[in-house]
Structure 1
Amino acid sequence: MIAHLFIGCRGSYASRWRRIVMRVLLVEDASDVAATIAAHLTREGFACDVAERAREAETCLSVQSFDLVILDIQLADGDGRDVLRNMRQREDATPVLMLSANYSVETRIGSLYDGADDYLVKPFDLRELTARIWALSRRGRDQKGSELVLGDLALNPSAQTVRLRGELVAMTRRELTLLNVLLRNPGRILTKERLFDCLFTFNESDVGLNAVELYVARIRKKLGGSDVKILTHRNLGYSIEASRS
């Protein structure tokens, strides 16, 4: 069945410019199909969580924020469009890419009216799936603004670069992701658990909370001399602030 669902899954077009990790929720009840898509997205550098039931998807969405949801319409315990409608009813604007073997124009139009951002019919090329994900991602980043600036530090989500007093600072994907979350919440204390959830998927159970401390330490070292500091709040979490002159 896998061979009939996916076409030409070789090649990586996004890897040459991707740095910030995107967290994706894949809702697909066919285990073999879900495993193939998830493996492909992981190779492409995405953090991918998988839910095989509508109920599981609702649970994931209630406890975790995602950059994108890939949602199959025909699920074993219901219609994926109900998950979509529930998201939009609670004003969850996370981009949703619908998957279905249904070629019906009415189904596709109906999904878009229900709040889907894009629609992909099975069988599909995994490279097209990746391209559509990044198209939706760019659209979302453009809506959020082109640059996050605090003190002498600037992070450009679109270009995925960090500059300190105008000079580029090299950072890994997860360092960029963590800094991105902090800069979107200046002065606000974010718990270690919240930051951990932004960095790692549910499947990475072998990673402990101390990993957050490691990434914070790395970022602090790279921002040495900056007037922007990541502060530790004992038993509470971390915040980012610019010192006042």
Structure 2
Amino acid sequence: MEKSSNLIINGSGSYPGGQYRKISIRGEGTIVNNVDCSSFHVYGTSEACENVKTRSAKILGEAEVKGSMEAEEALVMGTMTVGGKAHLKKMKIFGLLEADDRLVGESAVIKGSISVKGDVEYEKFDSSGGFEIKGLLSADTIKIILSFGESTAEEIGGGKISVKRGSWFIPFTNIPLSKRAGFLDAKVIEGDEVYLENTKAAVVRGNSVKIGPGCEIGLVEYREDLIHDPSATIKTKTKV
């Protein structure tokens, strides 16, 4: 089948996989086989029993992919669950993404939350939401704004790592409701340049390390320089 037909689901039912130009689900739809399409847009509820490959994924409702998911661009404003590997090249998460395997791509913007049981690998990782990563979070550039709750990762590794506390603001004003809105917990954080706030870690390693307010660090190993806020707790500091 060539990519010339569309699959539009407004009611409910089960449909075959294959190659489609456009898939749009506004009702409740189940796709029973592998699917390859140009766009995969879900406004209602969908279940893909195998793998999904698409250029554009837009999830405003609820989508469950039991196999792997591959998309050039992915926008999640609702909820998406992926049972296999998720390769989302350019990803923006305003809702919730859950992945039972690895999550990989080029650029990730997290304003909602993600929960990943494996590793997360991106070139650029930018989060002002929340995340729970059971494996390694790695990226060339990692920028984390701790806006709410607790974000966790087993390990974090990158070139430039910046973790700053965020604030909830009174609507339509610049008046913060809290100066300690979020917290990061990781066993190991390692990068070339590391700046941390509101972070608890057993080990922090880097060339240039700056430990800001609200941090509790077991061991800091640095090669060039270490700067730390007087209020931060560091048990051991070692120049290597």
Task: Give the greater-gyration-radius structure (CA).
Answer: 2
Q: Which has the higher strand share?
A: 2
- What's the TM-score, normalizing by structure 1? 0.23
Report which structure shows greater RCO (CA 8 Å, sep ≥6).
Answer: 1
Q: Which has the higher helix share?
A: 1
